[in-house]
A and B are shown apart, each in its own frame.
Chain A
Amino acid sequence: MTNTIIWTVVILTVLGLVLSLVLFWIARKFKVEEDPRIDEIEKTLPGANCGGCGFAGCRAFADAAVKAGNLDANYCPVGGAEVMKKVAVILGCEVKETAPMVAVVRCNGTCDARPRINTYQGAQSCKVKAALYGGDTGCLFGCLGCGDCVAACQFGALSMDPVTGLPVVDESKCTACGKCVAACPKRIIELRAKGPRGMREFVSCINKDKGPAAKKACSSACIGCGICEKTCQHGAITVADNVAYIDFAKCKLCRECEALCPTGAIHGVGFPKPLDKEAVKKRVADRKAKAAEAAKAAEAAKAAEPVAVPVQPEVKKEENNG
């Protein structure tokens, strides 16, 4: 009995020693020399391996960054500026400042606004549904509601709202990696700048149909009426293909477009106060009346130009003050 125990211990010990030597030898023999900065950068990165940067994973990103020696082609959307600064320190180079972005769902065709006109049965995948037919609503452009974006998000930032049937972005979790943008076959999701204190305006519709057709399919569709474009004082809004688009770089967050949109397709998020539509409408109306008045006065002045030359600058001044 004791013999057996002794032999067992001896054999196992010897086996362990031999194998550890083999492992040690293999580790030495097959060691790959790598730039230590790759490891360092990889440790700094979030480690989600999401591929949002365009590389296969965090290590691939680190590898590429070290090889390039700069960060011109590399940006980690998940880690953001903070992480990139640290990476830049390791590489000893500069990093461009990029405004933080967030995914935005550009469809507000809720179940109420956009009635279902047939029933889809098939694989629960937007891709499959989009390839099959125009969709179960009258809108050919809107959200299909199968949640490919939710499945694509690795950060749990997207979820389907069972009431509206639309995806909802959790801003605190969204890293703007862009996976959902690629996953959506209708190209509804867009990465937009988060905005100052998270405030931003956007058109929550991409329906390119003409007004009546769009309106028939969805009561909250953008009908391309152009009111927002005309109202905007900052030239941030353009209407093309019967749908409006707000250029975030130019938007001053005055929310006038939002208040005036007849279908409610323009959404503002992150604002501290709810939008007082009537007040804004009144403000815009007043301004327009004033402008019209000024224009009239200008015209009158033009008509009477030879007589009353000095009046003109005064009118202009008044307009500027208004």
Chain B
Amino acid sequence: MDKVIVSPSPHVHSPASTNRIMLDVVIALMPAIIVSILFYGWCEILVLAVSAVACVGLEWLIAQFLMKRPELFNGSSALVTGLLLAMNLPCTTPWWVVVIGAVVAIGIAKMSFGGLGQNIFNPAITARVFLLISFPVYMTNWAMPDGFIGSVDAVSGATPLGLIKEGLKSGSTIPEILSAHGLTASTILRDIGGSSGEISAIALLVGFCYLLIRKVVKPWIPLSILGTIALIAFIFHAIDPAHYTGIGFNLLTGGVLLGALFMATDYVTSPMSNWGGVIFGVGIGLIVMMIRYFGSYPEGMSFAILIMNCFVPLINRAFHQKKYGRA
């Protein structure tokens, strides 16, 4: 014992740390990543690798040389952003588009606000939206190359949501569209494609359950998002099944699960209180369904999250913890 340490209380700390939380998120993403690699093969590995390396590398470069504050570099959080970005992109995305996405995510959405904890918008979503608007062809057309398991027919074209949107615009009904493209309800659910993260609902749910067990996230935001979407889809589908898609279809397509489970629950860009989270989730659900039913984009998860991100500071102001002795 050389020199005693003196510090204010408390003198013990929980085992939690920022890096441990980020590691938990990476672990939770693993089932979905493995499934998408199995389905899409080498090109998926390439997108994941490029995105992860670009995000971590860019964060380091920006913190070190541009901002000259090396302490702002947080590798684990950049890695999570990188993986989420990759899972939001179709596996056919060229590597340079992925790098542009990384620049937007890390450079613009995260570091320009001051780094970890300071950003208003979810970096991965911001990048996805940027790419969606800038390179719509790469982002919405998806080809299914050879995966490591050969159960999927090689199809090429727009996502099911995109097909339905186009079909509805041209005046046909949903059953007509589906039969025209040789899709049935079961093949849709099996072959749902697009971004790699959308491929397996079960893998995403397994990962999310891990996060719940580790108490990294609370279930209120995903529950309220999915609940709102289900409710709206149920009502509209019951009224007019020919023009409005159903509950299962809406919950399982277009990155709703990925968004609700992993993107909307991002600590930095979601409200802190439980009730705030519910408001946030309901808002996202409403906006997604408005875009899907009445907007011009086939899916709306990214936009919905971004729009609700803007309201987070307001929600945080409005919803406070229940205080002791101040009822």
Contact = CB atoms under 8 A, between A and B. Distances in A.
A123 B5 CA distance: 13
B113 to A, nearest CB: 23
B3 interface: yes
B6 A132 contact: yes
B15 interface: no
A136 B3 CA distance: 10
A20 to B, nearest CB: 28
B243 to A, nearest CB: 30
B7 interface: yes
Contact of B3 (A119, A122, A123): A119
A4 interface: no
Interface in A91-147: 116-123, 128, 132-133, 136
B220 to A, nearest CB: 32
Interface residues of B, number: 6
B133 interface: no
Interface residues of B, dominant DSSP: loop
Contact of A132 (B3, B4, B8): B8
Interface in B48-105: none
Which of B4, B6, B8: most chain A Cβ within 10 A?
A: B6
A291 B203 CA distance: 98
B6 A119 contact: yes
Contacts of A132: 6-8
Contacts of B3: 116-119
Contacts, number: 26
A140 to B, nearest CB: 14
A118 B8 contact: no
Interface size range of chain A in the complex: 10 to 19
A249 B5 CA distance: 44
B71 to A, nearest CB: 14
Most buried by A among B3, B4, B7: B7
Interface string A76-97: 0000000000000000000000
A121 B7 contact: yes
Interface string B6-43: 11100000000000000000000000000000000000
B9 to A, nearest CB: 9
B211 to A, nearest CB: 31
A117 B7 CA distance: 14
Contacts of A136: 6
Contacts of B5: 118-121
A128 B6 CA distance: 12
A121 B3 CA distance: 12
Contacts of A118: 3-6
B227 to A, nearest CB: 41
Contacts of A121: 5-7
B8 A128 contact: yes
A133 B6 CA distance: 8
B8 to A, nearest CB: 5
Interface string A269-303: 00000000000000000000000000000000000
B4 A120 contact: no
A122 B4 contact: no
Contact of B4 (A119, A123, A128): A119
Nearest to B4: A118
A232 B6 CA distance: 43
Contacts of A117: 3
A120 B4 CA distance: 8
Contacts of B7: 120-122, 132
A157 B7 CA distance: 30
Contacts of A120: 5-7
A119 B3 CA distance: 6
Contacts of A119: 3-6
A179 B3 CA distance: 34
A45 B211 CA distance: 57
B182 to A, nearest CB: 40
A122 to B, nearest CB: 4
Contacts of B8: 122-123, 128, 132
A319 to B, nearest CB: 57
15 contacts: A118-B3, A118-B5, A118-B6, A119-B3, A119-B5, A119-B6, A120-B5, A120-B6, A121-B6, A122-B6, A122-B8, A123-B8, A132-B6, A132-B7, A132-B8
Interface of A: 116-123, 128, 132-133, 136
Given A119-B5, A132-B7, A132-B8, 17 more contacts: A117-B3, A118-B3, A118-B4, A118-B5, A119-B3, A119-B4, A119-B6, A120-B5, A120-B6, A120-B7, A121-B6, A121-B7, A122-B6, A122-B7, A122-B8, A123-B8, A136-B6
